[in-house]
Structure 1
Amino acid sequence: MGLDEEIKSLEDEIRNTRYNKATSQHIGRLKAKLAKIKDDAVSRAMKSAGGGEGYSVKKSGDGTIVLVGFPSVGKSTLLNKLTGAESETAAYAFTTLTVVPGLMEYKGAKIQILDIPGLIAGAAMGKGRGKEVIAVVRTADLIVILGDVFNGVHVDVLMHELYDAGIRINKPKPDITIKRTGYGGIRLNTVGAVDMDIEEVRAILAESKVMNADVLIRGNNVTQDDVIDAMMGNRMYIPAFISINKVDLISEDERKEVEDGMREKYGVDPIMISAHSGYNLEKLQDAIYDYLGFIRIYMKPYGEEADMEEPMIMRRGSTIEDVCRRLHRDFVDQFRYAKIWGTSVKHDAAKVGLQHKVADGDIVTIVTKL
């Protein structure tokens, strides 16, 4: 049995087996075996990639996003509109043969956008240029899944390829620790409402020949797939959203039908755009900025006016310590206190410490010992 046949056989058996307590161990074992086979195939494809010209891109700016789509979906046109980069465009497939970077400046943020060769079905297993492309996608801070109004099914294929490549979109990394030991079998500890017993975990780990380990699962609604991902240890958790291009080529009613179909299938509103005409590109830029979790911090040198022209771009949840490290590593060692004007404090000019979380629009003064 070839690789494709073995994968299909396992997927069919999982799909046709009703999940209950009696079958949970069997299903868990099948899922773990399937994940191992796919992961081995992807790893072999990655190793054989060779890192050809154009596929090693140094990350720059405040964040990096990758445009993921089928060939000729309009990625190059979109990149050119957003950044002014020179990515060749043409009305035939596989125009982009290398990774083309561009820089978009928006709301004070410098955002690197990568136009990659189009993904096709089987890309995760190395078909087409998939092996090189997937390697680039795994380094992104955000994925824009770009479809077009004529081929909505492509979005399904792209989602599947990203999943097979170990990329989990719009999902927090499960809090699961698997620590191998030399004896004692599998020992399971849980914190939260975990509806999974030790036999299921034991069956999953056995597929990777893990017979002795301490397993700690924290959180609620943890699934077998989460445990399998923790066992593999190489999953990437990346935010993503769907955008549908070429809306200028269909009627208003057809556009609404596409939009409603995407909403019903994926539970989110796709961003409907036309890279050619520029329709809704500002909405797309807003989504990129928001999904990257950017906030703007304005620095005020001690005794001087705040610089309101060039904000420091940070991520939601950043602390004063993160701000100090961005300025210079010595600022942490020499830190005395910070003063803040803004929504993260109860009153202006409030003194705060290193662990204080900043908010969008805060004005910050760092006071050091020297």
Structure 2
Amino acid sequence: MTTVEKIKEIETEMARTQKNKATSYHLGQLKAKLAKLKRELLTPSSSGGGGAGVGFDVARTGVASVGFIGFPSVGKSTLMSKLTGTHSEAAAYEFTTLTTVPGVMQYRGAKIQVLDLPGIIQGAKDGKGRGRQVIAVARSCSLIFIVLDVSKPLTDKKLIENELEGFGIRCNKEPPNILFKKKDKGGLNITNTVPLTHLDYDEIRAVTSEYRISSADISFRCDATVDDLIDVLEGNRVYMPVVYVLNKIDAISVEELDLIYRIPNAVPISSNHEWNFDELLEKMWDALNLVRIYTKPHGKLPDYSAPVVLKRDACTVEDFCDAIHKQIKAQFRHAYVWGSSVRHNPQRGESFPR
């Protein structure tokens, strides 16, 4: 029996098992077995041909990368060409793009890499088409644009999210606040600072038993589910911001457009006519969580022409120096910093924290 067949067998058994107190241990075991089998699909053996493949993995440039994911013929290549000026083959038939096509766009002084990925099909997470290679590249991006046809956005959105979830990508989610520390002895020590309404101790014991964990400290600081616990134990999940790009709005009415705007994290556009690109780029900037830092020569005005762009969560003076040149830290004496993050304008920093 193949791995995919085993997965389908477990999913069938879970579907026909009623969830109650008596079955919670059994369902916990099934979910843990399912996660381990899906891990085999995520990291197949070398003989299985599951690597990125020629034409998929590309050299990374810029401060961030945005990957385009979607079914065939939704307008990814046209959007790529309009945003970057890079030619990505576009035509009125499916699977025009067969490899990863990289491009670079400049926005607010930042160089951002854009990756036009081949269209995926349902079952990509199980290896159908070349979906596994496509999603493997998407896992390494800073942001994903899920490009959808505006005529059927909710159906395709759910299908693509299912494919990404099956490949360990968690869309617009934060890592669960669960502390896990394995021990050599002492048994399971389970604590929680908030009530667990989706998870009971039988399920926790079932999952840890399936992973052959007999001694560990597990602290729940959120109302976690059994899937959250499995994600923490697996340790290979990617929590990634996602923007839903609803393309071809030139084909719908204004009333339909008002309904589409209610979809969270969605931006309706027309790539052919370049409609609403401003909102799309603004959404992209917010999702990437970037910040611009301007240098100020001594005795002169700040240089607003070439900012240093950093991630907001990695934005110290040390990060700034590294972004300019690795040798600056060795010669660093002090820096003056202006902005909302300092107590005084300017504030003098003497040294780096060690």
1:42 equivalent to 2:42? Answer yes
**CA 1:256–1:45: 2 relative to 1, 3 Å:** farther
Q: Structure 1: state its 5+ residue gaps.
A: 357-370
Provide the residue aligned with 1:170 in structure 2. Answer: 172
In 1, Cα distance between equivalents of 2:351 and 2:83: 36
In 2, Cα distance between equivalents of 1:55 and 1:348: 47
Provide the residue aligned with 1:362 in structure 2. Answer: none
In 2, Cα distance between equivalents of 1:213 and 1:329: 43
**CA 1:238–1:13: 2 relative to 1, 3 Å:** same
Residue number among 304, 320, 323 corresponding to 1:323 in the alignment: 320
- Cα RMSD between the aligned structures? 2.5
* 1:58 counterpart SS class: coil
In 2, Cα distance between equivalents of 1:190 and 1:328: 45
Provide the residue aligned with 1:236 in structure 2. Answer: 238
In 1, Cα distance between equivalents of 2:98 and 2:220: 44
Higher mean alpha-carbon deviation, 13-22 vs 162-171, is at 13-22
Provide the residue aligned with 1:278 in structure 2. Answer: 274
Higher mean alpha-carbon deviation, 81-90 vs 323-332, is at 323-332
Q: Aligned-pair distance for 1:2?
A: 6.1
**CA 1:354–1:15: 2 relative to 1, 3 Å:** farther
Higher mean alpha-carbon deviation, 81-90 vs 182-191, is at 182-191
In 2, Cα distance between equivalents of 1:95 and 1:218: 47
**CA 1:193–1:306: 2 relative to 1, 3 Å:** farther
Q: Aligned-pair distance for 1:322?
A: 1.6
Aligned residues: 349
Q: Aligned-pair distance for 1:58?
A: 1.3
> What's the TM-score once normalised by structure 1's chain length?
0.85
**CA 1:327–1:2: 2 relative to 1, 3 Å:** closer
Does the 8 Å contact 2:82/2:271 carry over to 1? yes
Provide the residue aligned with 1:67 in structure 2. Answer: 68
Q: Structure 2: state its 5+ residue gaps.
A: none
Residue identity in the other structure for 1:117:
P
Provide the residue aligned with 2:131 in structure 1. Answer: 130
What aligned pairs does 1:1-370 form with structure 2 within 5 A after superposition? 3-4=3-4, 6-15=6-15, 17=17, 19-44=19-44, 48-152=49-153, 153-194=155-196, 196-208=199-211, 210-260=212-262, 263=263, 268-317=264-313, 318-352=315-349
Higher mean alpha-carbon deviation, 83-92 vs 301-310, is at 301-310
Q: Aligned-pair distance for 1:299?
A: 1.2
**CA 1:278–1:175: 2 relative to 1, 3 Å:** same
Q: Aligned-pair distance for 1:149?
A: 1.6
Does the 8 Å contact 1:259/1:270 carry over to 2? yes
Does the 8 Å contact 2:4/2:126 carry over to 1? no
Residue identity in the other structure for 1:29:
Q
- CA deviation map 1:226-261 (0-9, x unaligned): 11011112111111121110111222233334444x
In 2, Cα distance between equivalents of 1:337 and 1:17: 64
Q: Aligned-pair distance for 1:192?
A: 4.9
Residue identity in the other structure for 1:143:
I
- CA deviation map 1:139-171 (0-9, x unaligned): 010011110122321111100000000111111
Does the 8 Å contact 1:194/1:219 carry over to 2? no
Does the 8 Å contact 1:178/1:214 carry over to 2? yes
Residue identity in the other structure for 2:110:
A
Q: Aligned-pair distance for 1:339?
A: 1.4
Provide the residue aligned with 1:363 in structure 2. Answer: none
Does the 8 Å contact 1:121/1:161 carry over to 2? yes
Does the 8 Å contact 2:177/2:222 carry over to 1? no
In 2, Cα distance between equivalents of 1:45 and 1:87: 32
Residue identity in the other structure for 2:29:
R
In 2, Cα distance between equivalents of 1:120 and 1:242: 17
> What's the TM-score once normalised by structure 2's chain length?
0.89
In 2, Cα distance between equivalents of 1:321 and 1:335: 9
**CA 1:218–1:329: 2 relative to 1, 3 Å:** farther
Residue identity in the other structure for 1:57:
V
**Identity rate, percent:** 42
